[in-house]
Amino acid sequence: MDRRNFLTAAGVAAAGAALTAPAIAQTAPEIKWRMTSSFPVALDTIYGGGTTLAKYVSELTDGKFQIQVFAAGEIVPALEAASAVSDGSVEMAHTVSYYFWGKDPTYSIGSGLPFGLNARQQNAWLYHGGGNDLMNEFYATQNLVGFPSGNTGCQMGGFFRREIKTVADMKDLKMRVGGFAGTVMTKLGVVPTQIAGGEIYQALEKGVIDAAEWVGPYDDEKLGLVKVAPYYYYPGWWEPGSTVHAFVNAAKWAELPPTYQNVLTVAAQATNCDMLAKYDAFNPTALKKLAAAGAKFTPYSQEILEAAFAASNEVYAETSAVNPAFKKTYESMAAYRADAYLWAQFSEYTLDTFMMGQQRAKAL
């Protein structure tokens, strides 16, 4: 979405309160779309992003533009959501772009890469660093139009059935890990597998996998993974600020009246902000619940982090050498990342570090 369209959309949001029901009713057609989610209803924050988006669209159009949300598996399997939109089976999907990295690794950059951007940086790059334009240039080749529609913030590093202290400990470890991160994990000796959220618990319980990452405390606590894998590692270096997307079939997008296009754009951005705020609000309480349930919070060792960082850079170089779309988009993100972490070292990081010390000292 170019900057002019974004600013036009922002104007729609600001003027929303001034739009009277009769004016909308006179000019807007009635449209009903279906949106398939890649998430189960039980994960209310991430699945809820889809229902929040639909609610905003309905309210901004006086109910004339209705989007019906379907949970993963109701009409489309979780990991086929983008394909269903691309081929026109449904008009929209609410999903994570990196789920479809197997088709093209460029998908992964839309959500975020290992050792990439945190949530704020991801939003800055997407909205003001050319990221949305580059991703939609790629999505167009897939018959899709994409809108950031949620962010989980930096995720946790997963539940493990046993301790992982060194890179050697990761050899032959069977792990549920989503997206492009699996390619990086392979270089560390891990055997990655992609399993939908609703199937992770059983796979861990039965020993089909040895470890699994999902999102963070709020969603992870709901899945009950701590009951079968007590070692809870952090940080989720492969998902420092995962963006959730709303995908729209390109032909259906082109058919929308301009006003509805602007409404959908604004609703997606509002949903993006809302989801991140919910995770920041709910994760602290969930963290305490996990501790009470026996979670053993363990940071990844410096050895593992450095090995993973080096492996990530190898994968990016290898992929860039054979995939021009990936190379172009990755280089944009990486250039922004260098400046973003320059700035991040100053005011806020210093204050946060001090305040975290006060929290540990029970001074807050």
Ordered by where they begin, the domains of the chain are: 3-151+240-281 (3.40.190.170), 158-239+284-318 (3.40.190.10)
**Tokens matching residue 119:** 């949530």
pLDDT above 80: residue 297: yes
Q: Is 38 exposed, middle or buried (0-12, 13-18, 19+ CB in 10 A)?
A: buried
Three-state secondary structure call for residue 145: strand
Three-state secondary structure call for residue 218: helix
**Tokens matching residue 151:** 């962010």
Contact between 311 and 187 under an 8 Å Cβ cutoff? The reply is: yes
* Nearest one of 268, 347, 317 to 12, comparing CA atoms: 268
Half-sphere exposure of 183 (CA within 13 A, CB side): 19
Give me the pLDDT at residue 180, please. Answer: 83
Contact between 14 and 6 under an 8 Å Cβ cutoff? The reply is: no
Contact between 166 and 298 under an 8 Å Cβ cutoff? The reply is: no
196-247 residue pLDDT tens: 777 899 999 999 999 999 999 999 999 899 999 999 999 999 999 999 999 9
> What's the CA gap between 55 and 3, in Å, rounded?
25
What number of residues does the chain have?
Answer: 364
Give me the pLDDT at residue 179, please. Answer: 72
> What's the CA gap between 326 and 308, in Å, rounded?
20
pLDDT above 60: residue 263: yes
Contact between 164 and 233 under an 8 Å Cβ cutoff? The reply is: yes
Give me the pLDDT at residue 26, please. Answer: 56
Three-state secondary structure call for residue 357: helix
> What's the CA gap between 71 and 88, in Å, rounded?
18
pLDDT above 80: residue 283: yes
Measured in whole angstroms, the distance separating CA 116 from the mean position of its chain's CA atoms is 13
**Tokens matching residue 225:** 């993974």
Contact between 166 and 294 under an 8 Å Cβ cutoff? The reply is: no
**Tokens matching residue 140:** 């167009």
58-116 residue pLDDT tens: 999 999 999 999 999 999 999 999 999 999 999 999 999 999 999 999 999 999 999 99
Widest CA span of the chain, in angstroms? 67
Measured in whole angstroms, the distance separating CA 271 from the mean position of its chain's CA atoms is 12
Strands across the sheet containing 144-151 = 65-70, 31-37, 92-95, 243-249, 144-151
> What's the CA gap between 38 and 214, in Å, rounded?
13
Which has more pLDDT, 14 or 139?
139
Count the Cβ atoms, other than its own, within 10 Å of residue 6: 17
Non-local (6+) Cβ contacts of 52 within 8 A are: 270, 271, 274, 275
Task: List beta partners, residue 158.
Answer: 233
Count the Cβ atoms, other than its own, within 10 Å of residue 354: 9
Contact between 290 and 226 under an 8 Å Cβ cutoff? The reply is: yes
Query: Following DSSP, what letter does each residue of 146-177 receive, concatenated?
Result: EEEEEE--SPP-EEESS---SGGGGTT-EEE-
Helix (H) or strand (E) run with residue 32 in it: strand 31-37
Give me the pLDDT at residue 194, please. Answer: 80
Confidence of residue 156 (pLDDT cuts 50, 70, 90): very high
